[in-house]
Amino acid sequence: MQCPFCKAPDTRVVDSRLAEDGTQVRRRRECETCNNRFTTFERAQLSMPNVIKRSGDPEPFREDKLRQGIEHAIYKRPVTPEAVDHAVDAVMRKLRASSEREVPSRQVGEWVMEELRDLDHVAYVRFASIYRSFEDVNAFREEIERLQALPSAEERRSQLPLIEETGARSPEPGRKRSARP
């Protein structure tokens, strides 16, 4: 890699570590020409599906546009940059997991609202008001009532899943699962 200080064509890696929950590699590099050190981050480049706009036109997915939409919603709200990063990553994981070549913008918006619902209720309502094109105060009221009727993020995390996930624990050796009527 080229040195950002002296533009020498080659640098050496001094240290490598996993970062961001193992999704990145952090490399500490040193230039052998000027002896300056710098850090680089390596992340897998995965292809993302196109987003189908309301008009029906496909558009390449843009992470910066997703992040900007979330940041507008959380403007002047007590949400950390790390929480925004996690929300962006969660939406991108859902996009990749869909394994579709094209995803409707409506679905992306729903995923963003799911993340905002857990981050900050005011940000959620802000985003929903623009995303769903609220026309009057009643639309705000209905959305707030719907939000209040849902279980909180803590309640959802503490609930047991209705269907066992693949790879879930099997019963202890020697114990049988009870048949439920």
Taking only Cα atoms into account, the Rg of the chain, rounded to an integer number of angstroms, comes to: 23
Contact 59, 44 (CB under 8 A): no
pLDDT of residue 169: 46
Provide φ and ψ at 141, rounded to 5°. Answer: -60, -45
The domain tally of the chain equals 2
Same domain, yes or no: 100 and 69? yes
pLDDT, tens digit, for every residue of 59-99?
999 999 999 999 999 999 999 999 999 999 999 999 988 88
127 in any annotated domain: yes
Per-residue confidence band for 155, with pLDDT thresholds at 50, 70 and 90: low
Give residue 89's domain range. Answer: 50-153
| SS3 label, residue 24 | strand
Contact 48, 95 (CB under 8 A): yes
pLDDT, tens digit, for every residue of 96-129?
888 889 999 999 999 999 999 889 888 988 888 8
90 in any annotated domain: yes
